[in-house]
Amino acid sequence: MREPGAVEDIARAVARFGLPSQDPVGPLVPGRGWSALWRRIVDQRLTGLAMAASRAGVLVLPEDHGEELRSSHRDAMVWALTLERELLSLHRDLRDAGVEPVMLKGPALAHTLYPDPAWRDFGDLDLLVRAGDWSRACAVLSSRGFRRSLPEPRPRFDERFGKAATHVDESGMQIDLHRRLTVGAFGLWVDPGTLADRAEPFVVGGRELLRLDDSAALLHACLHAALGSAPARLLPLRDVVQIAHCGTVDWGLLTEWSRRWRLRAVVRHAFSEAAETLGVPLPAEAWSVSSQGASARERRALAAHLAGRRERGGPALSVVGALPGVRMKAAYVRALVFPEREFLVARTPGQRPSYVRRWTVAMSWAMRRHG
């Protein structure tokens, strides 16, 4: 394997292993490109899919490379099990506090939509809670030794505008407590309560938890794939295709949600990226979801999350346009322009907290946007 693109080609082939592909997968022989491929597989959390491909004879590895992959996969699964053990204990405490969380991604997908939970790696836990439960859920996490990695810019910012708060403990375990499904304008447009109302039970370690149903899980996978990072990571793209093919998706409902919550551009972008990057056809119904044209407003909001605008405050600026009323917009801008000092300190570790520096960055975003 000599071509520079070959590592990425094989990584993508691994990411589509087990799906109905247009191109036959394998045999994939990384040869001298193994080290780069291995790093890519671990970084993209694809060790489970790579192991399955290796066992099926699709990914052909000599013994030493196979052992390296096995070792990485074992590490990934030890961590996944450690997270699940924490989840069960945390879930008990949350229920005792009257909070019923809905699991997003990670274990919820691994145990229900993938053929084997070992195929779907995850490195943290994502829990969606209702706005009214937010404070109690944060208190439960705090009582279990978790601390927010970043404080709120101003009191009640999370409940009014925030997507999620990351909580970490001393061992490095990370729990993302979600108030909304995504950042930016789309986070405000989507009603998480509607999706939480349709949550379904699933079982982990003999305990019944709640997860998004397949239609909502696909919507969330699209949001994560399209808006989570630019360029999109391979595992979120795999999630999109996995749910589209293996989930019991109500395509009519997905179409209605996409229209109602202005997600047509996002869903179409996620479907296109997933199909093109992985080289996997999507069910025909998927394209009908976004067949009606997205509005200019939707397209602008999507562009704010993509490479180029994303690093220049695109998602934050898109929120201003999406918030209803002048008072809400003013409260949001005030929180970001005049955050609490504790927030500034946490945002600039090792530096002297400076409002002026923060305002300069915000000014440069605005200047570039209008320049």
Partner 1 sequence: MNARTRLNRASDLLWRDLGGEILVTAPGGKGVERLGGSALQVWALLERPRTVEECTRAIAGPSDAIAAEVESFLEELVARGVVEEVPEYDA
Q: Which of 30, 106, 117, 339 binds partner 1 (CB under 8 A)?
A: 117
Angle 181-183-189 from CA coordinates, rounded to 5°: 70
Closest to partner 1 by CB, 115 or 231:
115
User: 46 vs 335, which CB is nearer to partner 1?
Assistant: 46
In the chain, which ranges are E strands? 102-104, 125-128, 147-148, 164-168, 174-178, 200-204, 207-211
Cα Rg, the chain, nearest whole Å: 21
Pairing of strands 102-104, 207-211: parallel
Candidate list 23, 43, 67, 116; residue touching partner 1; CB under 8 A: 116
Instruction: Note whether 118 binds partner 1 by CB under 8 A.
Output: yes
Calpha distance 318→322 (Å, rounded): 6
Peptide bond into 231 cis (omega under 30): yes
Q: Which is closer to partner 1, CB of 154 or CB of 211?
A: 211
Among 29, 36, 60, 88, binds partner 1 (CB under 8 A): 88
Segment interacting with partner 1, rule: CB under 8 A, options 66-74, 130-138, 154-162, 363-371: 66-74
Q: How far apart are the first and last CA of the chain?
A: 45
144 belongs to the binding site for partner 1 (CB under 8 A): no
Answer for which of 24, 57, 201, 206 binds partner 1 (CB under 8 A) is 206
Q: Quick check: 313 and 276 in contact, CB under 8 A?
A: no
Query: Within its chain, how far is the Cα of 350 from the centroid?
Result: 29
Site string for partner 1, 280-299 (x = CB under 8 A): --------------------
Tell whether residue 71 is a contact of partner 1 (CB under 8 A).
no
Options 82, 149, 194, 288; binder of partner 1; rule CB under 8 A: 82
Q: In the bound complex, what is the minimum distance in angstroms from residue 125's beta carbon to partner 1?
A: 13
- For position 51 contacting partner 1 by CB under 8 A, the verdict is yes
Ramachandran assignment for 282, one of left (phi > 0), alpha (psi -120 to 50 degrees), beta (any other) = beta
Give the whole-angstrom CA distance, residue 231 versus residue 284. Answer: 25
d(CA 146, CA 139): 9
Minimum distance from residue 52 beta carbon to partner 1 (Å): 8
When asked if residue 70 is in the footprint of partner 1 (CB under 8 A), the reply is yes
Q: Is 260 in the site for partner 1 (CB under 8 A)?
A: no
Q: Does 238 bind partner 1 (CB under 8 A)?
A: no
Inter-residue contact 201 to 208 (CB < 8 Å): yes
Whole-angstrom distance, CA of residue 307 vs CA of residue 351: 27
Q: Binding of partner 1 at residue 56 (CB under 8 A)?
A: no
| Minimum distance from residue 58 beta carbon to partner 1 (Å) | 14
Chain centre to alpha carbon of residue 221: 7
201 binds partner 1 (CB under 8 A): no
Q: Determine, following the binding rule CB under 8 A, whether residue 89 of this chain makes contact with partner 1.
A: yes
By CB under 8 A, residue 205 contacts partner 1? yes
Binding site for partner 1 (CB under 8 A): 51, 55, 70, 73-74, 77-78, 80-82, 84-85, 88-89, 116-118, 204-207
